[in-house]
Structure formats: C-alpha cells, structure tokens
Amino acid sequence: METAESTQPKAEAIQYEQIHSMVAADFSVEEGFIEYNAPTFYVTLKPNVKQAFLRFYKQLNSMHLVPVLRKRENRVMLQVIPKPPVKPNRPLINLVLLVATIGTTLVTGYLFSSGWTQFMPNPWLGAVMFSAAVMSILGAHEMGHKLMANRHKIEATYPYFIPGLPPLGTFGAVIQEKSLPPNKDSLFDLGLSGPVAGFIVTIIVTIIGVQLSVLLPEAFHTCSGYLYRSYSALHLCCFRRREAAQ
C-alpha cells in the first residue's frame, strides 16, 4: 500500500515532466534538473523569446506557478517557482476609505469656499466641485494602474484612498500589486498608465476650472507685499489671515 510519502516523489516527477515538455515547446533545453524543489532548466534563447516567455507565463499561471528567467555563470536559466501566497482582497476597506476621503475633501472644499461667498454664494457647491475635481484626478490615476494590471494579468487591489484632515483633504491613493509582473514591458506599462490617465483628467479639470473662474480685482491678489496671480488654497488662506489680522 502506497503512503503519502511514497506518492509525493511520483507527483513531483509527473509535474517536472509536464513542465519540461512545456519549456521544450518554446525553448531549446540544454539541461534540466530540480533545484531546491524547483524545476530548473538551462536553455538557449530563440529570437521570439519575449512572446515565448509570455506564453509560458500564462500556461503556468493556472498551475499557480511563476517562471523566472535569468543568467547564471553566462548561461540562461529558467526556473519555475510557486506563486507567493497573498491575502484575499477586502473590498469593504476600499469602500470605507473612499467614502471617508470624499467626506474629508468635501469639508476641505467647503472651508475654502465659505470665505468667498461674494463669488460663490453656496459654499456647498464649491465643496462638491473641489471634491469632484480632486477625486477624479486621484481615481483616474489609480484606475489607470488597475486597468493596466488587469490587461497584463497582474493581480492588484482596487485603490486605497487615504483621507486627510483639512486643509489637505487627502494624502492621495495607492494600489497593491499581489503578483509579479511577467516582464519589464508590463512593469513599464503599469507604472506609466497611472500618471498618463491622471494627467489627462487634470487637463480636463483645469479647462473646466478656467471656464468657471472669475477675474478678481488686483487688491484681492495682494498678500504680505507680494502680488499673486493664482487662486490656490494657500493664497486664499494667506489672504484670509491678513484680513483677520487687520
């Protein structure tokens, strides 16, 4: 009667043979062996190595394995290792942080707008506009990363928004990668997609903001002897503090 200990080497041998045949389909195998319980192969690269590696990566993904291609002593080594364990996603945390960040940006927008009722009679309208602008830019940035991760089959969480006390409103947002990128191309795409998406939305928000802006008399721009030509939150706070001091 076979025991679990006796069947385990057989299962490992079957898996090794299966992986060996998959490697041989796309690479020229020079040598194959098991190193630290990981199937390892010295291979010769073919011209279409990038496409071959991506095919092999997708095949191993369903087996919860990850290929690693690197050089050892001037030879190309392909090693197959288990996927690192990851914790399951908890979308409730993402939702709670999203709602909290919307709340803090609304409060921040209200505080900025409440001192300018002569130009915006309803400060809650300014609060909504401020929150929508900030959350749109942050959301586009992080969803750019998330959608690109989905495209390259990289496991990643939804954005974690970070609320902040006024006058900041938020400290930004992050996503967490839960699997390794298959190659440098996917890592480049993943890193670039967020800033590009955020920049596009920033341009749209800026155009809308300029269209809705009003010209102020020059006296409104003077603060501590300096002439300001913009309407940032810091300038508004500076003007309001000077008014209170007078």
Residue 71: exposed, middle, or buried by beta-carbon count in 10 A (0-12, 13-18, 19+)?
exposed
Length of the chain equals 246
**Using one digit for the tens of pLDDT, what is the confidence trace for 201-233?**
999 999 998 888 777 666 555 543 333 333 444
| C-alpha to C-alpha distance for 69 and 150, rounded to whole angstroms | 22
Domain boundaries, the chain: 9-82, 91-214, 216-246
Please list the rounded mean pLDDT of every run of 10 residues in the chain (246 residues).
Answer: 48 77 88 88 86 88 87 89 85 95 94 79 88 95 94 91 91 90 90 95 93 71 41 45 48
Q: 139 is written with which tokens?
A: 């959301």
What is the CATH number that goes with domain 9-82? 3.30.70
